[in-house]
Chain A
Amino acid sequence: MTQERVRVVIVGGGTAGWMAGAALARLLSGQCTVRLIESEAIGVVGVGEATLPHIRAFNERLGIPEAEFMARTRATFKLGIEFRDWGRIGDSYIHPFGTFGRGSGAIDFHHYWTRLAREGHELPPLDALSYACTLAREARFDHPVRDAGTLPSTFGYAYQFDALLFAPYLRGLAEEAGAMRTEGMVIDVERDGETGLVRAVVLADGERVEGDLFIDCSGFRSLLLGQTLEEPFEDWSKWLPTDRAVAMPCRTETAVTPYTSAIAMPAGWRWRIPLQHRTGNGYVYASDFIADADAARALEEAVEGEKLAEPRLLRFKAGRRRRSWVGNCVAIGLASGFLEPLESTSIYLAQQAITALIELFPDKRASASDRDEFNRIIDLEYDRIRDFLILHYHATTRDDSPFWNYVRTMEIPDSLGEKLDLWRRRARVVKYREGVFLDASWIAVYLGQGIVPEGWDPRADVAGTPELLRAVGDLRSEIASEVATRPDHRGFLERYCPMVDAA
């Protein structure tokens, strides 16, 4: 069966655009032609420097060798996210890409933990009872092992990398696989008078680029989906009020930590993402609560080393387009919606959209069935991440600024209210099989932000207290001695994937 190839036109060439371009060119080369239009005159947002473990599956599917990719993007390993000052000032916890306890047994570890805590026992910090957290705190790294049931198998990992280097790396792969790049600025979009489908985009130099499927990777502008097709935007800013970020890289003065830090600030939070050659910083804030200049100053005062660039301002709004796929236009990345980078979900969302698009890749004429399924998948992703992000702000005792007073007392979505209720009452995590943040993530944030449940699984009462306390002590020392044999993160990077010098 021979098929006419689908002409794919990608508008915008940042991380999302080149991820889409590389994936389509690699995996569907016989089915489509890929043309990507980008303009050097338009800046790349490129703050998505921290990722989730899912990116490994994406890279693997594209045949990207890890060490080469890390060297080229000056990447470091990421075992989780450290949250500082969230539940209250002075707190610090890690949301690991891994489990607490041994990750086995009929009853989840956190039920025992809750019981012992409620019984008033002195317990080690939760981080000490997670292999991933301990490895992170000790700034060590080694790949997980496959042996189920062993501690070094209880975690996954992601990367922290230079997003401005990732896109060119992917571009190389995409072009190698046959994608064509066109330098140019889209100034007009042509639509079919009858169907409303996008027929072509017109560039500043007058060239007209026709296509069957248009992928909008134009970032916040949402050139096709938002501006042209006028798909409405669902605004979530009443729950996620931050709407600006100021970003500024600096020299790394302290450790190259194998984790990202998210440090709560009076009107938002600050990220710290250590790469091999520098540390990325930024202050995500709500402009209703702090002036831009004050936010920039606060960031400059907080960063650890010499600044490597002037502070750069970004504006955004939390929420998403009602549908990401309309007609023959699919928005991927910021063009489809935005959730603040608190849990490093930006690249993840782009990746999920690309994966869904590949699984639902249309004919020359896109079918409603493919479109609807794509939108169903994307909605589910956004909605679940939304609740998880809101939890971070809401689960706090902070009352030291108007911003924290607002988020602490705001009304939350019912879906999150029920999750919190089940946790508070019975240490129960609402179960999903599909979705980005599963049990361990919710547990990490709940406990890390000080919500110790009032009840727990009654089956956790069967074991005697001394026996349990002994098991906790054993676990802690086993983790500590296991972690002590692992290499230092920086040393590991230097041997495994030393960065390639600037061209």
Chain B
Amino acid sequence: MTGAGPIRDVLVVGGGLTAWCAAAALKRRAPFLDVTLLATPLAPDALADRIACTLPSLPGFQADLGIGVDDGVTRTGAGYRLGTRFVGWAEGLPDYVHAYGPYGHAIGPAAFHLHWVRAAHDGVARPFDSYSPAARIAREGRFVPPAPGSIFGAHDFGLTLDLTRHMAMIRAFALHIGVREMAGTVAEVRVDARGHIAALTTEQDRTLSADLFLDASGPAATLRSAIDDDRQDWSEWLPCDRVLLGTRVSGEGAPVLTDVTAHAAGWCWSSGEQVGLAYASQHLSDADAAAMLSRDGTAVDAPIAIRAGTRPQPWRGNCIAIGDAATQVEPLEWCNLHLALSAIDRLIAMLPDRAMAPVEAADFNRQTLAEAERVRDFLAAHYRTARRPEPMWQAVARAEPPASLAHTLSQFAERGRLPFYEEETFARDGWAAMLLGQGFLPRRVDPLVHGFPPHEVQAVMTRLSDAIAAALPQIPAHAEWRTGQMRRLAR
């Protein structure tokens, strides 16, 4: 039945970090493959390749390849990220932090956030993120990697990349382990009768063929779109259809906590050198957006158009779309590269043979779609539960959410429950931090909480918050930590 034999060669097409990550991981973890990368010019709208902020999945992905913190963080000049601070998303409420770590700890059989909900109903809760050790470190601009056994033992960290240096590092690594690089631009993609890619021709007139094609070419999906262009549109729930990137030369080092500030027609962020503005073009013109971002001498790129949505079948035949070629979302919560890395990991665990059996592609697509849809839900929940008066915000808050998000929100609204979904990117505490931070307070206190007298729980919560405060001064400032790392390497 599988007499087709193993795949031997893979062609990765793309010009950015996504493509190089894919090529490096395939060659490293499946060294029997011949991996060629057709380095096409970087697509300006490939957000996975262009956003400096990452989730904790990138350091993890690098570690799996054997790239440690020295090479994968310190030498590439990356900064550490512990989370995102949301400013202005819910009028009348203070900012809140979504940190990559636990918020409090379970008390008895009930999750911490359920206890917090009672304290909030009783009017005695401190902000939810004051119970998150990582959020507290981040708010003070400090950093430490997780130190098991201590109060700061359970967080993860993402990175703020120097994109040029980072891609150079991954590229050098990939070439070193045997990935072949070829420069060129795709001129034509030939699809055979079965819907498989037979070959592609470059503008340099070379014909390239492979058992498996990876399309990391960005939203244009040069290869994958030659087979079909089915997609699900998410723009109803994710209103920003433009992203503007800028470079702020006078920028200080990358902050450990990335600020994401809502404005009348979207949101803007600042991550050190890279700053950006995401907006809905219907509510803000490109010119006004550029004016907004360039205010303090920031050099602004051309606006990037994005169409929020996904291919329900990133894998068809012998071609797999990765990154923005598969799923496009605004960079809120920094998911673009994350989805790409996750798909690469999945592919390596599910390498096909030359038969390219549809049942295998279907299993890959099922998981990939489930993951993308939950990312969509998480992002859409920011909008659905935001509280701002402007027309864009009002319109998106009114849109009927997708069924899975509607379910999550109704469960949370009722009693703070966060139902389980397969392939969820963000932890329950992440969901809780965002929803509670935006003032989306459950109607009921969960009955399990009532088994514990409020004053006892209050004492536990106070102790926790105080313990974090007491331990904070020992944590180095982010810049200090980075300098220490560099000094160590220089020795």
Contacts and interface: CB of A to CB of B under 8 A. Distances in A.
Interface of A: 1, 3, 27-32, 61, 106, 358-361, 363, 367, 369-370, 372-373, 376, 418, 421-422, 424-426, 428, 430-434, 454-455, 457-459, 461-462
Contacts of A424: 1
A421 B122 CA distance: 55
B95 interface: no
Contacts, number: 93
Contacts of B30: 458-459
Contacts of B420: 434
Contact of A422 (B359, B413, B450): B359
Contacts of B407: 372-373, 376
Contacts of A30: 450-451
Given A28-B448, A31-B450, A461 B32 contact: yes
A421 B359 contact: yes
Nearest to A455: B2
B29 A459 contact: yes
A29 B108 CA distance: 14
B5 to A, nearest CB: 10
B357 A425 contact: yes
A432 B355 CA distance: 25
Contacts of B410: 369
B435 to A, nearest CB: 15
B422 to A, nearest CB: 6
A367 B414 contact: yes
Interface residues of B, number: 41
A359 B411 CA distance: 11
Interface in B396-436: 407, 410-411, 413-415, 417, 419-420, 422
Interface string B1-45: 110001100000000000000000000011110000000000000
A422 B422 contact: no
A462 B351 CA distance: 14
B109 interface: yes
Contacts of A458: 6-7, 30, 32, 351, 353
Interface stretch (B154-162, B175-183, B360-368): B360-368
B359 A418 contact: yes
A61 B110 CA distance: 12
B351 A459 contact: yes
Contacts of B360: 422, 425-426, 428
Interface of B: 1-2, 6-7, 29-32, 109, 118, 121-122, 348-351, 353, 355, 357, 359-360, 362-363, 367, 407, 410-411, 413-415, 417, 419-420, 422, 444-448, 450-451
A287 B348 CA distance: 48
Contact of B367 (A359, A418, A431): A431
B451 A27 contact: yes
A81 to B, nearest CB: 26
A428 B363 contact: yes
Contacts of A31: 447, 450-451
A461 B348 CA distance: 14
Contacts of A454: 1-2
A106 B450 CA distance: 44
Contacts of A433: 422
Nearest to A417: B359
B177 to A, nearest CB: 14
B362 A369 contact: no
A370 B359 contact: no
B422 A425 contact: no
Contact of A358 (B355, B357, B448): B448
Task: Pick the most buried of B2, B6, B30, B447: most chain A CB atoms within 10 A of its CB.
Answer: B447
B444 A363 contact: yes
B363 A462 contact: no
Contacts of B122: 1
B32 A361 contact: no
A31 B419 CA distance: 22
A88 B236 CA distance: 56
A59 to B, nearest CB: 14
Nearest to B1: A454
A29 B362 contact: no
Which 3 A-B pairs rank lowest in CB-CB distance, beginning with the nearest?
A31-B447, A369-B414, A455-B2
Nearest to A421: B359
B417 A27 contact: no
Contacts of A455: 2, 353
B163 to A, nearest CB: 29
Given A1-B122, A359-B417, A459-B30, 13 more contacts: A1-B445, A27-B448, A27-B451, A28-B447, A28-B448, A363-B444, A370-B414, A418-B363, A424-B1, A425-B357, A426-B353, A428-B350, A431-B367
A358 B121 CA distance: 21
B48 to A, nearest CB: 24
Contacts of B349: 457
Given A3-B450, A359-B417, A360-B417, A425 B444 contact: no
B473 to A, nearest CB: 34
A428 to B, nearest CB: 7
B345 to A, nearest CB: 11
A222 B359 CA distance: 40
B362 A418 contact: yes
A143 B247 CA distance: 60
Nearest to A425: B2
B452 to A, nearest CB: 10
A422 B414 contact: no
Given A426-B353, A454-B1, A434 B422 contact: yes
